[in-house]
Amino acid sequence: AQKVTQAQTEISVVEKEDVTLDCVYETRDTTYYLFWYKQPPSGELVFLIRRNSFDEQNEISGRYSWNFQKSTSSFNFTITASQVVDSAVYFCALSPGAERGVTFGTGTKLQVIP
């Protein structure tokens, strides 16, 4: 069985603060893929990043960065200098390297206050 836990239900930060969204996963597969998606108030889910289990390099894309640590089964997401437009629900997801569906976490609602 696989599981994705996003323990933070809601986070509020003031604009320009940094914020980290936590994601912890469980899987018995040795090959798997991890994702982050953003769901703004408009409702449509937007892909942010994909990482495979063999690549533990951290990644930075503009104000976004991701820290993948296999040893702790975590794939955390940091937004630097947050902006109001970052306000959304963020989902972490896990896909096994086999013909099975994708498991999403319950999401973290981020509110950035101006």
Smallest gap from Cβ 81 to other proteins, in A, equals 25
Phi and psi for 83 in degrees, rounded to 5?
A: -125, 160
Q: Is residue 24 near other proteins by the rule CB under 8 A?
A: no
> CB-wise, 51 or 86, nearer to other proteins?
51
Smallest gap from Cβ 35 to other proteins, in A, equals 6
Q: Is residue 99 near other proteins by the rule CB under 8 A?
A: yes
Residues 17 and 80: their CA atoms lie apart, in Å, by 7
> CB-wise, 71 or 99, nearer to other proteins?
99
Which tokens belong to 22? 């936590």
End-to-end alpha carbon distance in the chain:
41
Q: Tell whether the torsion through CA atoms of 41, 47, 48 and 52 is positive or negative.
A: positive
DSSP 102: -
> CB-wise, 52 or 111, nearer to other proteins?
52
DSSP 70: G
> Which residues of the shown chain bind other proteins in the complex (CB under 8 A)?
33, 35, 37, 43-47, 50, 52, 91, 95, 97, 99-107
